[in-house]
Amino acid sequence: MIIIKDKIKAFIFDLDGVITDTAKYHYLGWKRLAEEEGIDFSKEDNEELRGVSRRKSLEILLDGREVSEEEKEEMMERKNGYYQEFINEITEEDLLPGIKEIIMELRKRNFKLAVASSSRNVKPVIKNLGVGDIFDTISDGHSVNNAKPAPDIFLHTAEKLEVAPESCVVIEDAKAGIVAALRANMIAVGIGPDARVGKAHYRYDQVKDIELEEILG
């Protein structure tokens, strides 16, 4: 992909690990479910769930255990209930360092802004963080059928923004999200270790390390 920097029109942000760290709440929710089901589940195991859908996460957690569709639905709802208990306590103080400054600077420069996350709880989290009015659109786990690493959620978001995919920058912290952004023919910015997001066009250790001038030229 040839990056034409003056063609950049929009920035699309993942939620977990980019805007706030709800990953820890997902972990606690899955861990509680795992304990109830007699399944060993560690923080290392949780890394496999980063950036993937709730259903796929449950399948990874079950690791081949056969359960009915009805049982799967009940487990997903139970985990989500635990997660919602945690996120109800989120406030603006839970924004990751540097993220508000970045999105406010981009807004000042008239870029279109969006959130695209596999989570189905994006809107209440964004509202609790106090940044809901800053974004032009929000796409979540209800928006498309195919979760990351499929490009669907990013293509859907670009369409809602009325911006061509190649004019969008995606900021992600998950391998599945980076793959999805690349498949969507978008500019990928990875947050985290090279082993996880090394395929991105740009990589930074933390959100606060992002250099907009490097991306925008």
Q: What pLDDT does 188 receive?
A: 98
Q: What pLDDT does 6 receive?
A: 76
pTM of the full structure: 0.83
Q: Return the H-helix or E-strand segment holding 211.
A: none
Residue of 14, 140, 152, 173 with catalytic role: 14
Does residue 41 sit in helix, strand or coil? coil
Token pair for residue 14?
A: 């993942």
Examine the residue annotation and report whether 63 is marked as an active-site residue of this protein.
Answer: no
Nearest by Cα to 75 from 22, 119, 135, 30: 30
Residue of 16, 140, 152, 173 with catalytic role: 16
User: Alpha-carbon Rg of the chain, whole angstroms?
Assistant: 17
CA distance 193 to 106: 25
Walk me through the domains of the chain, giving residue ranges and CATH numbers.
5-21+92-216 (3.40.50.1000), 23-87 (1.10.150.240)
Q: What is the identity of the amino acid at 19?
A: I
CA distance 77 to 210: 36
Q: What pLDDT does 52 receive?
A: 80
Q: What pLDDT does 196 receive?
A: 93
Examine the residue annotation and report whether 16 is marked as an active-site residue of this protein.
Answer: yes
Q: What pLDDT does 5 receive?
A: 67
| pLDDT averages per 10-residue partition of the chain, 217 residues | 79 96 88 96 89 88 93 96 91 97 97 94 93 96 91 98 98 96 98 95 98 94
Peptide bond connecting 149 to the previous residue in cis, omega within 30 degrees of 0? yes
Token pair for residue 116?
A: 């695209």
Token pair for residue 32?
A: 């509680």
Q: What pLDDT does 53 receive?
A: 82
Q: With contact defined as beta carbons under 8 Å apart, do 8 and 167 qualify?
A: yes
Q: With contact defined as beta carbons under 8 Å apart, do 172 and 200 qualify?
A: yes
Q: What pLDDT does 50 receive?
A: 80
Q: What is the identity of the amino acid at 214?
A: E
